[in-house]
Amino acid sequence: MAFDASKTVSALEYNFAPFQDVKGCTPEPSTDAVRHFLYETGRLADEAVGGGTEGDSDEAIAEKIRTMTEEDYTAIAEEILDLTAELTQGEPSRDEIAALPHRIQRAYMAWLRKELTDPEAPSAGTRRSLKGLPGGARSTSRAGG
């Protein structure tokens, strides 16, 4: 059986209904963009626990997290939103992601990360071929425009 890129992974389609009238398709990010996203989110996690966890017990890591302030959490969440919007090339936009309810936002970001790091794993989203979507070009529209 031959390798067929158009059938190997699904398009990065999203639909934020019923929370927002926003749906579309994230353009396929470059390898460098995915590496940057993974590196920076890893760096944020490392910084959040005081510079590393290698060799630390679960209790020590939990203690590092407990010492974070609300401002620390907010700054990390904002930077993760920025990194996600950069990765998605604005499809969806940072504002659209930020406007989602917390659990939906977290589920979307976890889904996106999973699709980019393990594209053949089963997902809850609809599987659709990339065929006919050059570069993952947006195929649907948003409300109001």
**Domain spans of the chain, in order of start:** 29-117
Give the per-residue pLDDT at 51. 62
Give the per-residue pLDDT at 127. 45
Tens digits of residue pLDDT in 12-46: 999 999 999 999 999 999 999 999 999 999 888 88
Q: Tell whether pTM > 0.85.
A: no
What is the C-alpha to C-alpha distance for residues 74 and 27, in angstroms, rounded to an integer?
28
Give the per-residue pLDDT at 3. 84
What is the C-alpha to C-alpha distance for residues 16 and 20, in angstroms, rounded to an integer?
5
Give the per-residue pLDDT at 121. 52
Q: Where are the alpha helices (DSSP H) in the chain?
A: 5-8, 31-48, 58-66, 70-88, 94-98, 102-117
Tens digits of residue pLDDT in 41-95: 988 888 777 665 566 677 877 777 788 888 988 998 999 999 999 999 999 999 9
Give the per-residue pLDDT at 35. 96
Give the per-residue pLDDT at 47. 79
More confident: 119 or 135: 119
Tens digits of residue pLDDT in 125-143: 444 444 444 444 444 444 4
